[in-house]
Chains A and B, each alone.
Chain A
Amino acid sequence: MLITTIDSPGSSSATAKPPRLALRFAVYTGIALLVVAVAMLWVLERDVETRAEERAVVQTQQVAQATLRRHLRGADFARPVTRERRATLDGNFKDIVVGGFLRATLFNRAGEVTYSTDHALIGTTRRPRTFGGVLAGRPQRSEEYLGKTKVLRTFVPVRVVAGGRPIGALALTQDYSSIDVQVSEAFRHTAAILFVALLALWSSLIPILRRATAQLHDRNRQLATQASELEQALLERRRAEETVLQLAAIVESSHDAIAGTSRDGAILSWNAGAERLFGYTADEIIGQRAAVLVPAERMEELITVARLVNGGEGVEEHDTRGLRKDGSEVDVSLTVSPIFDHAQRVAGAAVIARDITQMKRQQSQLQALLAMERAARSDAEAAQQALETRNERLRELDRLKDEFISLVSHELRTPLTSIRGYLELLLDGGAGELTKDQARFLGVVDRNSKRLMHLVGDLLFLAQVEAGKLTLELGDVDLHDVVAEAVEAAKPSADERGIALRAAIDPTPSILGDRSRLAQVLDNLVSNALKFTTSGGSVDVRLSSASGHAVLEVRDTGMGIAPGEQEQLFERFFRSSEATDRAIPGTGLGLAIVKAIVERHEGRIEVESATGNGTTMRVRLPVRAVVKGVAA
């Protein structure tokens, strides 16, 4: 931008100047010549005028000497002439032929007019300023106005003897216009000649002028170019100086150590960063060899770097170690670039050393961390491996357990099959009629084998629950029917034991569940209640609904459960102290199974009881959307 503002005025003036300059020169020289002409004309006019006047004086003298001497007498200059003499003189002066003659007057030495062609003046005394000069013998002339007419009055002294003392003066008054005619005529001629001469001179000057202005213009242009070049050079130099200053400031403020060296390795410049890094001040180090900054065992590196730099190459971010003033070493990243002179020869080197102690420490920390991470990862992988192996083994064990349970259950059922099967055949009379005792004994076998069968069934069921293998066959379950069926099935047993078994069924929505498992829940609860209730007591089964749940309640008037035992009630194989004391048959699996089934349905079971005061088992099952069109 700076460059364009410098260039533009020069270029525009170069094209506009020459004609104007030439014109100006022409006008100036014209004016000068005109002034000269006017001056010359003025001088000329004066000169012509003077000469005309002088001629008038001469004429007057001639008149006085040649013409009038014969007629004038000394007495004519003594006192005013007489009337007769006046007439004679009038006749003498009438013949004087002088251009524009107006008047002739004679003065005596006292200035008294002794005679005048204008008779009124005779006898008056008039001493013009110049009269003294006239009396001293010098003719005088003066321009005066006679009325409105410009006149030339010429005084000449009148002598009696040549060279003697003037006795008076003769004054001739002429109309000036007669002299002017002569003057203007001479002037016109001279002026015309002068004008032509000057015009010729001026026109002959024009080409010279043109050449001169063209040369001048070229010269100007050269000068302008030189000036602008000079200005440009100055600007560049200033910029260069600014750049140098900026660079110097950058170098000085850099955290890195920056030094300049000569070709032979002498240190020439040293910034603050270098002072900090190496401990030498600039005064201490400048002039010394770069080798003082290199640990002894690294001299080879220095030589290699020097060779590279002197060959015109550089070194970039080379990690090495530097030697401080105090003898300690420092990790540095070294960048060395050759410095070229104008002839593109290597003049020295720019050396940048960066302190990488921190970085090295961080690197080693990072390495350590990475190593730790690797170790941790391999540990984790080993642990994972171990875990997987263990999981695999656990899965295998799980599978073996499943298989074991399945086999045990199978092996228990197989002999039971024979016992139960043959027993039924016997009781059905498949081997002939039985005696009463035989029937009674076989009844005992039948009852116990049934218990055994249930026990095996319960064990297998719980094993499945524990293995997470209890699957529900979900469907729309109407709990009304389930309750009714359970009560119906338990009725004979209740009647037999003299217990009142009652059912109260409120309208309750169907729930989503496994019907046979829910029936199992209710059977278990009802049979438990009956087992722990003595003759004359009652068992009430109630179905109701509350806040999105179906609530099943089985309340008995039995012996109750001690508060301390209520928590263990749902544990496998737990039997209450009452049950043990009174030898009430049971395996302690029933409630565990109930709880498992209820929880599998996302329901809850709770117990309310006090020793000797009966027990209430309450099951809450969530009602779900199972019938189309009924919301959950």
Chain B
Amino acid sequence: MTAKPVVLIADDHPDILELVSVTLELDGYEVVQAGNGEEALRIASERRLHLAVLDLMMPGMDGHEVTRRLRADDPQGALPILILSAFAEDRQTALALDAGADAYMRKPFSPRELLATAGSMIVGRHPHGRLAARA
């Protein structure tokens, strides 16, 4: 059995942090939580990650800035970044994708949809992932 894909989740709302974690863990991911942007960057520098799921509006460093910094250290785009935000405007989506995010998902989200998106993003880069194996 291969090691679980490691997913970083950054969100300032504990309820949502928990919801995303539970959803992903139920589907067999290892989850690392961050309550703000700085913490997310620290974890990203310490751990080898397979996916980053970032909220946009966080106190201190926001999701756009975290995305930019992650991309600055990873110009090849090895780490897929999924933005999960309650901002529904197209403008916010465009800004996030400009900063280097790979996908944008609006809150409220369907856990099933999240799993499908996350799976496609990781499997796209890791052909030996669990879902790929199952498919």
Interface residues of A (CB under 8 A from B): 406, 409-411, 413-414, 416-422, 424-425, 428, 430, 453, 457, 460, 464, 469, 471
Contacts and interface: CB of A to CB of B under 8 A. Distances in A.
A424 B19 CA distance: 11
A421 B90 contact: no
Interface in B79-128: 85-90, 106-112
Contact of A425 (B13, B16, B22, B87): B22
B22 A414 contact: no
A428 B111 CA distance: 10
B1 interface: no
Contacts of A414: 13, 16, 86, 107
Given A421-B23, A425-B26, A469-B89, 7 more contacts: A410-B57, A411-B86, A413-B86, A421-B20, A424-B111, A425-B19, A430-B111
Contacts of B86: 409-411, 413-414, 417
Contacts of A457: 88
A413 B108 contact: yes
A418 B112 contact: no
A406 B108 contact: no
B15 interface: yes
Most buried by A among B20, B57, B89, B106: B89
A418 B19 contact: yes
B108 A422 contact: no
Nearest to B106: A413
A453 B108 contact: yes
A418 B85 CA distance: 12
Nearest to A457: B88
A410 B87 contact: yes
Given A414-B13, A414-B16, A421 B108 contact: yes
B111 A417 contact: no
B16 to A, nearest CB: 6
A557 B70 CA distance: 58
18 contacts: A406-B87, A409-B88, A410-B57, A410-B85, A410-B86, A410-B87, A413-B88, A413-B107, A414-B13, A417-B16, A417-B19, A417-B109, A420-B108, A420-B109, A421-B110, A428-B111, A430-B26, A453-B108
A46 B95 CA distance: 159
B95 to A, nearest CB: 12
A424 B110 contact: yes
A430 B18 CA distance: 13
Contacts of A464: 89
Chain B, interface size category, equals 20 to 34
A471 B89 CA distance: 10
A469 B23 CA distance: 35
Nearest to B89: A406
A421 B19 contact: yes
A420 B16 CA distance: 11
Please indicate which of the listed interface residues B23, B57, B107, B109 has the most CB atoms of chain A within 10 Å of its own CB. B107
A501 B76 CA distance: 52
Contacts of B90: 471
The 4 closest A-B pairs by CB, nearest first: A413-B86, A417-B107, A420-B108, A417-B108
Contacts of A410: 57, 85-88
Contact of B22 (A409, A419, A430): A430
Interface in B13-32: 13, 15-16, 19-20, 22-23, 26
Nearest to A407: B57
Nearest to B23: A425
Contacts of A422: 19
Given A410-B57, A414-B16, A430-B26, A420 B110 contact: yes
A424 B86 CA distance: 18
Given A406-B89, A464-B89, A424 B22 contact: no
Contacts of A460: 88-89
Nearest to B56: A410
A418 B88 CA distance: 16
A430 B27 CA distance: 10
A412 to B, nearest CB: 8
A226 B110 CA distance: 132
Contacts of A428: 111-112
A175 B64 CA distance: 177
Contacts of B19: 417-418, 421-422, 425
Contacts of A418: 13, 15-16, 19
A460 B20 CA distance: 25
Contacts of A453: 108
A329 B108 CA distance: 93
A405 to B, nearest CB: 9
A409 B23 CA distance: 24
Given A416-B108, A428-B111, A430-B26, A421 B88 contact: no
B6 to A, nearest CB: 21
A411 B86 CA distance: 8
Contacts of B20: 421
